[in-house]
Amino acid sequence: MISTNDLRPGMALDLPEGLFQVIEHQHVKPGKGKAFVRTQLRNLNSGAVVDRTFRAGENLPRAIIDRADYQYLYSDEMGFVCMSLETFEQMTVSKELVGDAANFLVESMTVQLNTYKGQPIGVDLPASVELEVTYTEPGVKGDRVSGATKPATLSTGFVIQAPLFLNMGDVVKVDTRTGTYITRVT
């Protein structure tokens, strides 16, 4: 149990409605009445964000989230198969749980798997990944307008907007949070 006075962003709570992560918290002491804590919580199962208000000093059940490095092996109809780098135990993570992170997963990539009571609840990717461009229209000589972009399909099948100078076979660094082009790698 943890007091609402001790809440911090990133903490996980095991509430009756499900598993939530604290995004924001604000301790409010009105001029008249008792103090309360206004929070913004993200449901770790559905991703929905909700606002909740608790009494100051109220005890809430804290959830301990285990984070460990796993190696992504492959995907099949059951989901994405990852192997623990410590115990070599394999765990299958559902496609719904992986979500948009699937656009950046490459075999043998190291990811951080979040688990609660032995069940996976999320996948954290590095801030950026390097992927190969498998298809893009060739740039036309003289068509070098500053800031112009074209669609480029990456090795995972994800399409990004990339500069005109990119060619097929180039390796690019992509931001996994926004899905945007960062730079070309050699």
Place of tokens 């780098």: 85
DSSP labels, 25-89: EEEE--SSS--EEEEEEEETTT--EEEEEEETT-EEPEE--EEEEEEEEEEETTEEEEEETTT--
Alpha-carbon torsion, ordered 174, 176, 180, 185, to 10 deg: -10
Query: So what's the pLDDT on residue 148?
Result: 80
Q: What is the per-residue pLDDT across 98-109, written as a single tens digit (0 to 9) for each?
A: 888 899 999 999
Q: Which of 138, 129, 133, 136 is nearest to 179 (CA)?
A: 129
Query: So what's the pLDDT on residue 144?
Result: 62
CA contacts within 13 A on the Cβ side of 139: 16
- Pairing type for strands 66-76 and 149-154 reads unpaired
Domains of the chain: 2-63 (2.30.30.30), 66-124 (2.40.50.140), 128-185 (2.40.50.140)
Q: What is the per-residue pLDDT across 134-158, written as a single tens digit (0 to 9) for each?
A: 999 887 666 666 678 889 999 999 9
- Number of neighbouring beta carbons within 10 Å of residue 59: 12
Q: Which residues of the chain carry a pLDDT beneath 70?
A: 140-146
Query: So what's the pLDDT on residue 143?
Result: 60
d(CA 125, CA 113): 9
Cβ pair 113, 120 in contact under 8 A? yes
pTM equals 0.75
